[in-house]
Amino acid sequence: MKLRDLVLTSVFLAIGFILHQITPPLFLGMKPDFLLIMMFISIYLVDNYKTAMVIGLCSGVLTAMTTTFPGGQLPNFIDKIATCQIVYLLFKILDNKFRNNINIVLVSIIGTFISGAIFLGSAFYIVGLPASFKTLILSIVLPATLFNACISFLFFKVVLTALTYSKSA
């Protein structure tokens, strides 16, 4: 892992953490997971399994610190560890199949849905859910998936533009 990758990943996770912390719930208590978006972008940029696991561990710790779900610390940690591995594999599978923009949107949709499902599943077994699993998937996870797909596209464009200019300078 290069120092540049470490610094970029740290900055992206810090930005995601801050945005995750200050963003209020938008719809039915759903809080957009900016840290998840920055985790996806970081995994895409580093392209290394060990680093992807470290990113997942760090993301899990950070989201556990900021969760508003009662007893959601452990489910957040579990979901980020599992999601980082799935996202890494998705990026490997989709590599050179589509343009970068399409890759990030597809991975964001699949990754956010999987993350939400793993979180709810683990929360169901660890602390219980305030509503049925299906209801929470339909009312919280699906809107969050659509929101994250749009925001990840925008963030990805900004990051790529910034990296392009930083390499030329």
Q: How confident is the model at residue 169 (pLDDT cuts 50, 70, 90)?
A: low
Is pLDDT at 30 greater than 80 in this prediction?
A: no
Encode pLDDT of 89-104 as tens digits. 999 998 877 777 888 9
Radius of gyration (C-alpha) of the chain in whole angstroms? 15
Task: State how far the Cα of 51 lies from the Cα of 57, in Å rounded to an integer.
Answer: 10
Which of 140, 154, 161 is closest to 26 using CA atoms? 140
What does pTM read for this prediction? 0.91
The percent of residues above 70 in pLDDT, for the chain, comes to 97
Q: Where are the domains of the chain?
A: 3-168
Encode pLDDT of 104-136 as tens digits. 999 999 999 999 999 999 999 999 888 889 998
Which CATH code for domain 3-168? 1.10.1760.20
